[in-house]
Structure 1
């Protein structure tokens, strides 16, 4: 299998690092194109992968082509490569708000398309990705792409109608978590902790708590209850969070991100 990336931003670099570390493909079977050669030079030097400034070369040579460019650049890139790809190749999209139908229309033919929403913790091998595919992708091919995204975190197969929810929960989710860590650390500093230690206490607490949910299989509410001793400090803090609308704020944030992703996928009205 030869894997190609068109685009070499942070997400692409995170994915490439995970793929190569897990030996999903060998370096000589991975090709990356970017108009700015200096952006691929580091990856080429580090991993010995194939690089080029020609998107058409990547599109022509790769069995699976990952479009790792910004959503607004998709029309331009697809127009450039659509005559170079065949209907036997798999196109992987990672752009928010771009449906599989919209991607297929731009190619102008019945393409095998897998739509994925990864997130930035892929940079440290702890990404979360949601994947869906169109009717032209076989189960074996879908499994192959799924395996690629599992190399830098966890990946779940979904149907496309759930993609807005995935964007709201995990695609945009890291930003909410960073804000929570920052707020916890600020409070720690207010209580006397040195800033650096405050960030460590807050971040490790979130990391450990998330691991408890994933590894124990217990309901988050059950784990929360286990920390809340009668008349103790934790239940006092939980009570304050409830009074301040903590859950409601998080739910509204996720819903807002999901709504925005849905709106991004709608055709823009032409100005009169």
Structure 2
């Protein structure tokens, strides 16, 4: 395990603007394996000081819960992580303009917010890392898509990859593909949970207790994912191996095909990506008004 003496984050000062679950996942990923020093990490939000104290108690990070502390945290940071809600993003980022130095690295966790819109709001081409993590990051099993603005150096790219590698796997993609990442993995856990809900409901309908149906479903989904990882086989190959001609699995798959399960999933993921672009358009339009 990389520690604070060899981590690219050693000596780097970070400021998290936003203290939600994703910010906490990253904090945990950095602090617990000692990739960064808690005293070098400041956390701020709009008004929930209790949440900041909670994170400080849990991870040893520095709560910036007054206007003076917020300004100091922002101006002194090497990396500013934007984790506010999309609806608040334009106004909050515009307010940061006089506080940020042109050399500071900005890391965005905000769905739909493009690098060009961040530049527009700041009035300059700040070094920006745009990311799309997912909620599995909270247990260190996240999947994060990452894009970089032209001004991000190789050293800072490594720093960003270390940050998000601490909470799972990373995939560097061109920025126009970040919405695709949102569709596939950003919202992906919800699709799996939705499938699990249906599996549990079916089990109960067939006579299992809710507890047994849940336990069997959870282990089945976990085992299936692990099989793909361990064998390195395509899901299609693994599916075919357990689908005997005229067997029970084939009957189930044929039923899914009759209800156009695959097409429904593809359309859902495409719609998710479209919605991310729509949210980005809204932020850009609001930015133009400021």
Q: Return the match for 1:226 from 230, 241, 245.
A: 241
Matched residue, 1:94: 109
Rounded Cα–Cα distance in structure 2 between residues aligned with 1:132 and 1:64 = 16
Instruction: State yes or no: 1:248 paired with 2:263.
Output: yes
Q: Equivalent residue for 2:56?
A: 44
Instruction: Name the SS of the counterpart of 1:69 in structure 2.
Output: coil
- In the alignment, the residues of structure 2 paired with residue 63 and residue 100 of structure 1 have an alpha-carbon distance, to the nearest angstrom, of 18
1:179 aligned to 2:191? Answer: no
1: CA distance, partners of 2:274 / 2:91 = 26
Contact 2:17-2:84 within 8 A present in 1 as well? yes
Counterpart among 128, 145, 148 of residue 133 in structure 1: 148
SS in 2 for 1:148: helix
Query: 1:152 matched to which residue of 2?
Result: 167
- Match of 2:256, SS state, is helix
Counterpart in the other structure of 1:79: 94
Encode CA deviations 1:57-93: one digit per residue, 9 max, x unaligned: 2211221110010112112222222212112110001
- Give the Cα separation in 2 of the matches to 1:193 and 1:263: 42
Q: Once superposed, what is the RMSD of the aligned Cα atoms?
A: 1.5
Whether the aligned pair in 2 keeps the contact of 1:14 and 1:124 (CA below 8 Å) is: yes
Over 3 Å counting, the alpha-carbon distance change for 1:3 and 1:268 in structure 2 is: closer
For 1:28, the equivalent position in structure 2 comes to 39
Following superposition, which runs of at least 4 residues in structure 1 exceed 4 angstroms of deviation?
267-270
CA distance in 2, matches of 1:216, 1:22: 29
Q: Which runs of 5+ in 2 are unaligned?
A: 1-11
Aligned to 1:265, the other structure's residue is in SS state helix
Q: Is the 8 A contact 2:131 2:144 kept in 1?
A: yes
2:3 paired residue number: none
TM-score, length of structure 2 as denominator length: 0.89
Q: Which has the bigger relative contact order, CA under 8 A and spacing at least 6?
A: 2
In the alignment, what sits opposite 1:116? 131
